[in-house]
Amino acid sequence: MEDSQSFIHPSRASAIRSAILRFPRKNPVLCVAFVLAVVTAFLVPPDGGYRSYFDLKTLSCLFCVLAVVCALKNIRFFSRLARKTVVLTGNLRAATVALVCITFVGSMLIANDMALLTFLPLGYFVLSSTGTERYMAPVFILQNIAANLGGMLTPFGNPQNLYLYSYFSIPDREFFAIMFPPFLLAIALILACCFFLPRLRIELREPEEDRLPAARTALYLILFALSIVMVFRVIPYWIGLIVIPAVLLFADRRALAQVDYPLLLTFVCFFIFAGNLSRLESVQRMLGDLLGKNPLVVSALSCQIISNVPSAILLSRFTSDYRNLLRGVNIGGTGTLIASLASLITFREYTRHQPTRKGFYIGLFSLFNFAFLAILLVFCSVIG
Where residue 241 falls among pLDDT bands split at 50, 70, 90?
Answer: very high
pLDDT of residue 1: 46
Q: Is the pLDDT of residue 7 over 70?
A: no
| Rounded distance between C-alpha atoms, residue 349 and residue 355, angstroms | 10
What CA–CA distance (Å, rounded) separates 108 from 154?
6
CA distance 288 to 52: 20
CA distances from 184 to 141, 151, 152, 163, 343 (A): 19, 12, 11, 23, 21
Is there a contact between 70 and 258 (Cβ–Cβ < 8 Å)? yes
**How far is it, in rounded angstroms, from Cα 134 to Cα 181?**
34
Single-letter code of the amino acid located at 247: V
Residue range 180-200, pLDDT digits in tens: 999 999 999 999 999 889 888
Which comes out higher in pLDDT, residue 111 or 320? Answer: 320
DSSP for 266-312 reads: HHHHHHHHHHHHTT-HHHHHHHHHHHHH-HHHHHHHHHHHH-HHHHH
Between 92-110 and 77-86, two packed helices, what is the crossing angle to 10 degrees?
Answer: 160
pLDDT in tens, 111-148: 788 888 888 888 888 888 888 889 999 999 999 999 99
- What span, in angstroms and rounded, lies between the C-alpha atoms of 297 and 328? 7
Give the pLDDT confidence score for residue 205 in this predicted structure. 67
